[in-house]
Structure 1
Amino acid sequence: MSKTSLLCQRQLLQYMADGGFYSGQWLAEQLGVSRTAVANYLHELKQHGLEVFSVKGRGYKLAQAIQLLDATRIKHLQTAGSAQILVQHITDSTNCQLLQRLQGRHELEPGSVIVAEAQSAGRGRRGRTWYSPFGTNLYFSCYWRLEQGIPAAMGLSLAIGLAVCRLLQQYYQLDAKVKWPNDIYVNGKKLAGVLVELSGTLDAGCDVVIGIGLNVGMPEQSKQHIEQPYTDLRTESSQQVDRNLLVVELQRQVVTVLQEFNVAGFAAFIAEFNQNDLYANQPVYLMAKPSISGICRGVDKQGGIIIETSQSTEVHYGGELSLRAGG
C-alpha cells in the first residue's frame, strides 16, 4: 500500500470514526480525491474486516464508532523511560514485523512494542490463523531478551497470560483466567491469546517476541471466522475502553512480568497461576502423544500441566487442553 493511500485511509477514518453517516461526495471533497477513490479506500478497509454500511441517499457509516491508535497520544501516556511503541496501520503480523527487525540486525530495546490496526496474516499457536479485523481489537508484540538462553523460556507464555489477567482484573474488574498453555478466558469464553516465539541457541542468550491478541470490540462478522466461543472487553466490562491507554498499560504489565521472570523464571508464578487456572481441579482431556484424561492439578515450576489420573500423577509440556466431556 502506498503512503498516499495509507494517509487517505487514515484521514477518511478520522472523519468517520464517530459512527455517523457521511456522504461520499463530502468525504471526497475533504480528502481532495474522487468519490470512486473514497469507495475504493473503504472497500480495501472492508477487506481487512472493518464493517462499513452504504445507504443510498445517506452515504457511508461504520457499523460502530472506532478509536484509532494514536502514536502521539500513546507516547504522551507512557511513563518516562518506557521503551518505544511503534504504531502500524495494516501489517502482515506484528510478531513477523519484530522478527524481521531482529533478522535485519536492528537494535531493539527490551520492552519495545509494535501494535497495528489490522493484520493480514495474524498467527496463533500451532500455525493457526488469528482473525484480525481493522480498528476493533489489539494486536500487540513485545521484544525481550533472555540471556540464559532458550531453556529459560519454559513457562513464559503462562507468565504473559498472567500479565494479561492482571491488567483485566485491575483495570476492568474482570474475573480473567488462564487456560493452559496460552489463552485468557472471561466467563468461559476466550478474550485473548499469547504467542511466544524464540530466536537463539540452547547455550546462549535468545531473543523473544511475545505476541498478544486481545479482543476489544469484535465485529458481528467475526462469527464467520472463529469457531470457538469468544468474547471482548466491550461485552464484558461496563467501562469505556481506551485502546491507546490499553496499549500503554499492557506494555507496562508485560514488562513488569518479564522483569520478574528474568529473576526467578516461572517458579515465581506458580501460586498466581494456580489461583487463576481456568481448569483448576476439574476433569480435563489433554490431546497429546499419548492423550490423557484426569484431574487438572495446576502446573510445575517449568509450566508443565499436572494431571492426576486414577493410576498416577503426570506432568506434560505440550498438547491441547480441554474440559473432559461428561465430567
Structure 2
Amino acid sequence: MNKRTERLVQVIELLADGEFHSGEAIGAVTGVTRASVNQDIKAIQALGLDVFKVVGKGYRLAMPIELLDVDDILKEFAQRGQKPLKLHVERIVSSTNDVLRSYLKQGPLEAGETLVAEAQTDGRGRRGKRWYSPYASSLYLSMYWPLEQGMAAAMGLSIVAGYAVADAARQLGIADVRLKWPNDVLVKGKKLSGILIELEGQAVDNAHAIIGIGVNINLPTMVEEYVDQPWTDLQTELGQRVPRNLWVATLLATLSDALEEFKQQGLSPFVQRWLAYDNLHDRAVTLLMGQTTIHGYAKGIAEDGALLVEVEGEVKRYHAGEVSLRYDAN
C-alpha cells in the first residue's frame, strides 16, 4: 500500500468502533491537517463506507464494523477440527487473486494458503466483469490449490467451490440457497456469491489453481449504481448482523473439507449434492455459443462438471468456457 492508502486504513480502523472522532483527533493520529482529513473521509466514503459528520462532534460510521482479524479467524477455524491453515489478511488490494498470484511468484505456497481482504480496487468476476468490492461489506477471498496432475485436474473445481459456499450459507441459517451453473450462488434468484477460478501451469504437469470467492455480507445501498443484476447479502437474508470473522472461518472450513474430498475422490461425490442446490434443474435455458443460440432444458451436471442440457430430446454436455447461459429467473 502507498502512504495515502495506509492513512485511509488507519482512519477506518479508528472509526470502526462507531463512535465520533473529531477531525482534529483524526489528524493528530494520522499526522495531517483537518483539511486533509476531510479529503480522506471523502475517499473512505468512495470505498463504500457510510461516514457522516456532525458539527461539534466530528466523524463517525453509521454502524460499527467488525474488521477481519487473523487470530480470530484461525481460532474459529481450529475449533472446527481443521488442520493449521496459512492465512493472510489485507485491508485494500487490487484483487485477492492477483495478490495471491504475486505471492506464488515469490516462492511455493502451501495447499490451502488463503488471502482475504477488506476491499478490492480492481475486483473481477467471470468474463472480466467488474466485481464491486466495498470496504468491510463483503468477503473477498482467494485460496491457492495445487494441481499435481495438471490443469485437467481442475475440471469441476468451480462446482466444488460453489457447493462449499452454498453449504456454508446453509450452516449459517439460509435454507433456500441455490446454485446456478457454473459459478453463482443465489438466494431467491438474487446473487449472493460468485466464484472465479484462475489456472496457471501445464496441461499435463504441475499446475496451480487460485480459487477466488466473493460473498455479499452487508452491502451498502450505493451498490445499486454498480451492479446490473438482482443481488442480496447474508445480513438481509438472516435479518441480523453477521459476525464476519466467524463467517470466514465457517467458509474456510467447509471449502477445505470439500477440496480435500475432491483431491481424494474427484468430483463424483459432489454431483448429487449439487442437485440438492441446483437452481436450473428441469428449467428452460438458453445457451449462447458465439453466434449460435441453443434452447433446451437443464438436466443437472455431468461427472466432469459440464452442464447437461436436453436439446430436442437428446442430452448434451456443455462446458463453462464454451457457453454463456441465460434462463428465466422467475
Q: Tell whether the structures are fold-level matches, with TM greater than 0.5.
A: yes
Deviations 1:174-213 (A, max 9, x none): 3211100001001110000000011111111211100000
Query: What is the CA-CA distance between 1:214 and the residue it aligns to?
Result: 0.4
- Measured in 2, the distance between the counterparts of 1:226 and 1:164 equals 21
Match runs of 1:143-182 below 5 Å: 143-182=144-183
1:9 aligned residue: 8
1:244 aligned residue: 245
1:227 aligned residue: 228
TM-score (norm 1): 0.92
Deviations 1:45-82 (A, max 9, x none): 23323232234444322233311112232233331742
Gaps of 5+ in 1: none
SS of equivalent to 1:78: helix
In structure 2, which of residues 279, 294, 306 is the aligned counterpart of residue 304 of structure 1?
Answer: 306
1:198 aligned residue: 199
- Measured in 2, the distance between the counterparts of 1:60 and 1:320 equals 46
Query: What is the CA-CA distance between 1:288 and the residue it aligns to?
Result: 2.3
Query: What is the CA-CA distance between 1:123 and the residue it aligns to?
Result: 1.1
1:101 aligned residue: 103
Given that 2:12 and 2:44 are in contact with CA atoms closer than 8 Å, whether structure 1 keeps it comes out as no
- Measured in 1, the distance between the counterparts of 2:90 and 2:29 equals 23
Gaps of 5+ in 2: none
- Whichever residue aligns with residue 145 of structure 1, its letter is P
- Measured in 1, the distance between the counterparts of 2:279 and 2:189 equals 8
Identity, in percent, stands at 38
- Whichever residue aligns with residue 157 of structure 2, its letter is L
- Whichever residue aligns with residue 25 of structure 1, its letter is E
SS of equivalent to 1:66: coil
Q: Is the deviation greater in 214-223 or in 307-316?
A: 307-316
1:88 aligned residue: 90
Query: What is the CA-CA distance between 1:261 and the residue it aligns to?
Result: 0.9
SS of equivalent to 1:240: coil
- Measured in 1, the distance between the counterparts of 2:175 and 2:93 equals 30
- Measured in 2, the distance between the counterparts of 1:239 and 1:252 equals 22
- Measured in 1, the distance between the counterparts of 2:308 and 2:5 equals 52
Given that 1:200 and 1:207 are in contact with CA atoms closer than 8 Å, whether structure 2 keeps it comes out as yes
Given that 1:174 and 1:236 are in contact with CA atoms closer than 8 Å, whether structure 2 keeps it comes out as no
Query: What is the CA-CA distance between 1:137 and the residue it aligns to?
Result: 0.7
Change (3 A) 1:312 1:211: same
1:320 aligned residue: 324
Q: Is the deviation greater in 60-69 or in 131-140?
A: 60-69
- Measured in 1, the distance between the counterparts of 2:180 and 2:170 equals 16
Given that 1:285 and 1:324 are in contact with CA atoms closer than 8 Å, whether structure 2 keeps it comes out as no
SS of equivalent to 1:161: helix
SS of equivalent to 1:291: strand
Deviations 1:268-320 (A, max 9, x none): 21101111101111111122243211111101001111111334222111322
RMSD: 2.1
1:294 aligned residue: 296
Q: Is the deviation greater in 212-221 or in 236-245?
A: 236-245
1:131 aligns with 2:132: yes
Deviations 1:2-38 (A, max 9, x none): 45852x4344323322434433223334555432332
- Whichever residue aligns with residue 257 of structure 2, its letter is T
- Measured in 1, the distance between the counterparts of 2:261 and 2:303 equals 14
- Measured in 2, the distance between the counterparts of 1:307 and 1:46 equals 45
Task: Count the aligned residue pairs.
Answer: 324
TM-score (norm 2): 0.91
- Measured in 1, the distance between the counterparts of 2:181 and 2:326 equals 9
Match runs of 1:264-283 below 5 Å: 264-283=265-284
2:26 aligned residue: 27
- Whichever residue aligns with residue 82 of structure 1, its letter is P
- Measured in 1, the distance between the counterparts of 2:274 and 2:294 equals 21
Match runs of 1:204-223 below 5 Å: 204-223=205-224
